[in-house]
Chains A and B, each alone.
Chain A
Amino acid sequence: MTVTTYREAVREALREALAADERVFLMGEDVGLYGGAYACSRGLLEEFGPERVRDAPLSESAFVGAGIGAAIAGMRPIVEVMTVNFSLLALDQIVNNAAAIRHMSGGQLGVPLVIRMATGAGRQVAAQHSHSLEVWYAHVPGIKVLAPVTVADARGMLAPALADPDPVVIFEHAQLYPVEGELPPQGDVCDPWHAAIRRPGRDVTLVTYGGSVPKALAAAEAVAAEGIEVEVIDLRSLRPLDVATILESVGRTRRATVVDEGWRTCGLAAEIGSLIAEGGFYDLDAPVTRICTAEVPIPYARHLEEAALPGVERIVAAVRELAGLRA
């Protein structure tokens, strides 16, 4: 095992994909000369040339749409959109074309496209660079949504996403890029479609994904000293959702909290809460609770931003409350 950063792991995945398949190319704003807004593609232009590492103009709709067309015509594009907030300019192409074309065409066409984008708050970049809109994409049939958290997943998820015959959107939480972790040996096969239990525990299940996973693990560690054993589930895939793993865990712990950096109203946490209510209601000893971002556009000031986000303290408090409801 080598230790590396999440950013390096993403770059390694891109390099491997470009080297492995000549149909693969990377396209997006400043992915070439600049090296990527988050430096994920630094060095790839020099290694693979401007035809395969393409700097695109600030035309999200056009270059995402071009990725869709190129995928239809036999290529395997990886489109990088700088942040999820900017991806809204390409939402038409993603929802009306990428997600719908297979069905509208009666199965004549598929769109084997990978779209990567940064998501999440915590860097004081305010309301147009910080939102967690994963659920907007997870809502739509015809696309798949992944959220790698670990360094292993940051590298491992790209190959199966590219191999998938349907469009896959990969969300990289911007806070994770400098985080270090262990990289499994090359050739290690990643199954991205199932959730992972990142910490086993018997008292409370924390269901979470993306940038909230490290916070959930920190909260679990904090309450362990009090004798509360928390199980942390990293969803990894937000569509499809691995309901079986969630229900199996809740069947053992009988209590669940969902931690989601998205907003609470109509969010992913609401969906997971519903799935637990539908499939695990009689296993529950307590209501399913949600820890989400406050219902505000993410503010700039540090103390306000921190107050808006699901932090370790809020998770610890929720876990204590649930554990206190032990039957």
Chain B
Amino acid sequence: MTATPALARGHAVDLLRHMLLVRLFEERSAELYMEGKIRGFLHLAIGQEAVAVGSLAAAAETDRIVAAYREHAHALARGTPPAAVMAEMFGKATGCCRGRGGSMHLFDVARGLYGGNAIVAGGLPLAVGLALADSLRRLPHVTLCFFGDGAVAEGEFHESLNLAALWKLPVVFLCENNRYAMGTALERHQAMPFIHRKASAYGIESAVVDGMDVLAVEAAARLAVETARGSGRPYLLEARTYRFRAHSMYDPELYRPKEEVERWKARDPLDTFPRSLEAWGLVTADDVRAMHADVAGEVEAAVAAAEAAAWEPVADLSRDVLAAPTEAVA
């Protein structure tokens, strides 16, 4: 853990609160999945909270975010109301995408979130395009593009890094390396498993950071974002992290040893970070308990709002396929 004496209490509390929100929101989501309230695929980022929360703390409000399908954390860290995310997963009309996207496709354009994308590496070319538009329009925005280690095996990863470097576009490619592409370990899908080093093939600056340490992630992401903003060029940041739960909701976890999971759980950011803050005298155990109760209440309010919300009318089924119903010709 990087000791940061200059760490402001308010900021530290904010980071902890966001990580706690993601954790409690997802734990509750898992229960709701078992109750059948949430269906489809549900990918939990429990264990990985420090990556989304730390890196998005380093992004400006006007920066653009592209995420993958394990992206509740990114939406919540970006400030999308938990009720809008929960309602989306319930398939309700008050969901952030009015029930069209679900867990894997959270969009909140007002907050610069251009989607969860469930095609592995499918968001990378999109991120390059967002940055291309900003570059052409001389806007100072940076695009943060999140993806997992599995995406590195896709052609779109390599095509996108090359294009962003070639055209000098300010994209921070942020790899959330949780060591598994679904059930295939990094060493079993990458001939050269040091992901940040792949950037050198494209002349892209890169770094690797401990993804279980929210302060380290924030510092590394700040460097990445501001380097990209200053140079107008891409940057690859690899955050090494771990998911504690199954890939999706049903997963017998035949592909990894229990001891490995336990080893990583010992580094749980929701355990280590509050203890550090207590040690540094920034919060007390009572503060943390109060925050826990407060965030749990916020999650329960989101669940209640989602429960109470109306269903989108079936009559609106084909709404938003096209901007205007020119399909009427057919």
Q: Do A and B form a real pair?
A: yes
Return A87 CB to nearest CB of chain B, in Å.
14
Chain B residues, Cβ within 8 Å of A194 = 329
Nearest-CB distance from A227 to chain B (Å)? 34
Asked whether any CB of chain B lies closer than 8 Å to the CB of A71, the reply is yes
Choose, from B38-46, B71-79, B123-131, B232-240, the stretch at the interface.
B123-131
Contacts of B323 in A (CB 8 A): 102, 110, 164-166
Contact of B162 among A59, A141, A237, A241 (CB under 8 A): A59
Residue in chain A with minimal CB distance to B131: A69
How far apart sit A69 and B114, CA to CA, in the bound complex (Å)?
Answer: 9
Any A CB within 8 A of the CB of B271: no
Contact for B136 among A51, A97, A165, CB less than 8 A: A51
Q: How far is the CB of B327 from chain A (nearest CB, A)?
A: 5
Q: Mark B166-203, 1 if CB is under 8 A from A, else 0.
A: 11000000000000000000000000000000000000
Number of interface residues of B (CB under 8 A): 50
A64 in contact with B125 (CB, 8 Å): yes
Contact string against A for B residues 70-102, beta-carbon threshold 8 Å, 1 for contact and 0 otherwise? 000000000000000000000000011111110
A200 on the B face (CB < 8 A): no
Pairwise interchain contact A105-B327, C-beta atoms closer than 8 A: no
A57-B162, A106-B107, A107-B320 are contacts. A70–B330 as well, Cβ < 8 Å? no
Partner of B124, one of A65, A107, A141, A242: A65
Establish whether residues A68 and B321, one from each chain, have CB atoms under 8 Å apart when the complex forms.
no
Q: A237–B328 Cα gap in the complex (Å)?
A: 13
Q: B107 to chain A: which residues have CB within 8 Å?
A: 104-106, 108-109
Is A302 interfacial (CB-CB < 8 Å)?
no
Contacts of B155 in A (CB 8 A): 61
- A75 close to B (CB within 8 Å): yes
Chain A residues contacting B136 (CB-CB under 8 Å) are: 25, 51, 70, 75
Cα A105 to Cα B113 with chains together (Å): 10
Using a CB-CB cutoff of 8 Å, which residues 65-124 of chain A contact chain B? 65-75, 77, 92-93, 96-97, 101-110
- Interface assignment of A62: CB less than 8 Å from any CB of chain B: yes
Contact present for B322 and A66 (CB under 8 Å) = no
Question: Closest B-chain residue to A90, C-beta based?
Answer: B125
A35–B61 Cα distance when bound, in Å, is: 41
Name which residue of chain A comes closest to B132, CB basis. Answer: A70
B interface with A by C-beta (< 8 Å): 64, 95-101, 105, 107-109, 114-115, 117, 119, 122, 124-134, 136-137, 155-156, 159-160, 162-163, 166-167, 318-324, 326-330
8 contacting pairs across A/B (C-beta < 8 A) = A61-B125, A65-B126, A74-B137, A77-B129, A93-B125, A106-B95, A141-B327, A165-B324
Which residues of A are interface residues toward B (Cβ below 8 A)? 25, 51, 54, 56-57, 59, 61-75, 77, 92-93, 96-97, 101-110, 141-142, 144, 164-166, 193-194, 237, 239-244
